[in-house]
Amino acid sequence: MELTGKQRKYLRGLGHHLRPIVQIGQDGVSETVVSAISKALEDHELVKVKVGQGAPCDAKTAATTCAELTGAEVCQVIGGTILLYVAHPKEPTISLPK
């Protein structure tokens, strides 16, 4: 599902006050990190991920990789923070604008 600009803007507004749930460290985007992000997305739909100083990749590369491996959409990348979204398959709590 490709998000429209209006939907991304809406999700960025919702994600503004969120704290990062998952942190990418010196191991990079490992299987453990992908598993943690997948679980967090399943629970919350909208998740902030922090890319640490010692990470081997930059935030944009990490965002692309995480989105591909989890099936999520990248809403925003600012500095070392990534905002990811995926709708819950059965009970979505976030209602996106058209």
pLDDT (tens, 9 = 90+) of the chain, 98 residues, equals 689 999 999 999 999 999 999 999 999 999 999 999 999 999 999 999 999 998 999 999 999 999 999 999 999 999 999 999 999 888 889 988 88
% of the chain beyond a pLDDT of 90: 88
47 has which bridge partners?
84
pLDDT for residue 46: 96
CATH topology of domain 5-85: Translation Initiation Factor IF3 (3.30.110)
Residue 10's contacts (CB-CB under 8 Å, 6 or more residues apart) are 96, 97
pLDDT for residue 73: 95
Residue 21: which of 45, 34, 2, 40 has the closest Cα?
40
What residue spans define the domains of the chain? 5-85
pLDDT for residue 89: 85
pLDDT for residue 87: 92
pLDDT for residue 92: 87
Tokens of 60: 């944009």
Distance separating alpha carbons of residues 48 and 20, to the nearest angstrom: 4
pLDDT for residue 98: 84
